[in-house]
């Protein structure tokens, strides 16, 4: 009798173990897979591509901005954003140029400045939806916390009482504000004693149609068209 009870217990344990394995390996349903693709936060983006932001062009959208890496460096452009989409349908909606497909991600080069008022169409300045900025773009930047040259998100507000200012978003989410006079000439940076920027040297120089503004070891390349608009 004791042998029979032990055999029965072992059989039950084996059945429970198999049941657990079946539950652990249950594949995702098509609906779950579609939900992951539709949500950029939960989607499985390849580690080979440096993605950032919470969606493009708006937070929550399925496509994401793509940063610089050995695979993407040849697709980066000062006048456009490099954007990745997990779906070719989402990529087609961006209205840019498909430049490559890497690790199942479609890369699209999207011009930074669309044909909206304030972007050279002589209609005056209007703000980008959901922001206080008259235009947004990516500009060349380098040196913040020792970083190599790359691209930083930036937004410009034109026509204030003192002129124009540009907010540059840094790699850790902080901002650098750069001021220009009403005629588009470089004026200064916003600095503070608390973070040590007040003690940093500020310089600027011109290279063609671009202002090279520096704050200590940091450098920002700002095209005239971004500063002046119309």
Residue 163 backbone phi and psi in degrees, to 5? 135, -125
The answer to the question of residue 107 being in a domain is: yes
- Name all contacts of 48-51 with Cβ < 8 Å and 24+ positions apart: 48/102, 48/103, 49/84, 49/102, 49/103, 49/105, 51/84
**Bigger pLDDT: 165 or 5?**
165
The answer to the question of residue 37 being in a domain is: no
Asked if residue 102 lies in contact with residue 159, where contact means CB atoms within 8 angstroms, the answer is no
Question: 70-95: per-residue pLDDT in tens?
Answer: 888 888 876 778 899 999 989 888 87
Q: Are residues 222 and 146 in the same domain?
A: yes
- Say whether pLDDT at 19 is over 60: no
The answer to the question of residue 28 being in a domain is: no
Band of the pLDDT at 112, cuts 50, 70, 90? low
- Mean pLDDT across 110-128: 53
Domain that holds residue 99: 49-111
The answer to the question of residue 206 being in a domain is: yes
CA distance 64 to 112: 14
Contacts (Cβ under 8 Å, ≥6 apart) of 133 = 127, 155, 156, 157, 167
The answer to the question of residue 198 being in a domain is: yes
Q: Are residues 207 and 157 in the same domain?
A: yes
**Bigger pLDDT: 160 or 133?**
133
Q: Are residues 142 and 87 in the same domain?
A: no
pLDDT of residue 193: 93
Q: Are residues 216 and 146 in the same domain?
A: yes
**Bigger pLDDT: 92 or 15?**
92
Q: Are residues 148 and 186 in the same domain?
A: yes
- Say whether pLDDT at 214 is over 90: yes
Q: Are residues 145 and 104 in the same domain?
A: no
* Highest mean pLDDT (candidates 43-52, 100-109, 116-125): 100-109
CA distance 91 to 76: 17
Q: Are residues 139 and 194 in the same domain?
A: yes
Q: Are residues 157 and 223 in the same domain?
A: yes
The angle subtended at Cα 13 by Cα 10 and Cα 14, nearest 5°, is: 90
The answer to the question of residue 78 being in a domain is: yes
Rg (C-alpha) for the chain, rounded Å, is 25
Q: Are residues 103 and 140 in the same domain?
A: no
**Bigger pLDDT: 110 or 130?**
110
Q: Are residues 82 and 157 in the same domain?
A: no
| 221 burial type by CB count under 10 A (0-12 exposed, 13-18 middle, 19+ buried) | middle
Contacts (Cβ under 8 Å, ≥6 apart) of 207 = 221
Band of the pLDDT at 51, cuts 50, 70, 90? confident
- Mean pLDDT across 207-216: 95
Band of the pLDDT at 230, cuts 50, 70, 90? low
The answer to the question of residue 27 being in a domain is: no
Question: 174-192: per-residue pLDDT in tens?
Answer: 999 999 998 899 999 999 9
The chain-wide mean pLDDT, for the chain, equals 78
The answer to the question of residue 89 being in a domain is: yes
**Bigger pLDDT: 13 or 226?**
226
Q: Are residues 106 and 148 in the same domain?
A: no
Domain tally for the chain?
A: 2
Band of the pLDDT at 33, cuts 50, 70, 90? very low
Nearest alpha carbon to residue 215 among 200, 196, 205, 195: 200
- Mean pLDDT across 54-82: 82
* Highest mean pLDDT (candidates 15-29, 124-138, 174-188): 174-188
């Amino acid at each position: 009798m004791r042998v029979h009870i032990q055999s029965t217990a072992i059989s039950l344990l084996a059945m429970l173990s198999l049941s657990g394995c079946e539950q652990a390996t249950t594949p995702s349903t098509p609906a779950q897979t579609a939900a992951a693709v539709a949500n950029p936060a939960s989607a499985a983006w390849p580690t080979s591509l440096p993605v950032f932001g919470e969606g493009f062009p708006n937070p929550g959208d399925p496509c994401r901005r793509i940063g610089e890496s050995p695979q993407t460096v040849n697709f980066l452009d000062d006048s456009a954003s490099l954007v990745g989409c997990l779906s070719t349908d989402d990529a087609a909606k961006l209205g840019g140029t498909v430049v490559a497909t890497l690790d199942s991600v479609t890369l699209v080069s999207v011009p930074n400045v669309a044909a909206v008022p304030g972007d050279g169409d002589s209609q005056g300045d209007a703000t980008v939806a959901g922001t206080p900025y008259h235009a947004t773009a990516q500009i060349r930047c380098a040196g913040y916390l020792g970083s190599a040259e790359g691209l930083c998100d930036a937004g410009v507000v034109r026509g204030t009482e003192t002129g124009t200012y540009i907010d540059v978003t840094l790699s850790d989410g902080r901002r650098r504000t750069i001021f220009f006079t009403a005629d588009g000439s470089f004026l200064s940076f916003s600095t503070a004693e608390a973070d040590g920027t007040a003690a940093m040297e500020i310089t600027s120089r011109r290279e063609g149609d671009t202002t090279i503004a520096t704050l200590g070891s940091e450098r920002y390349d700002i095209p005239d068209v971004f500063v002046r608009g119309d």
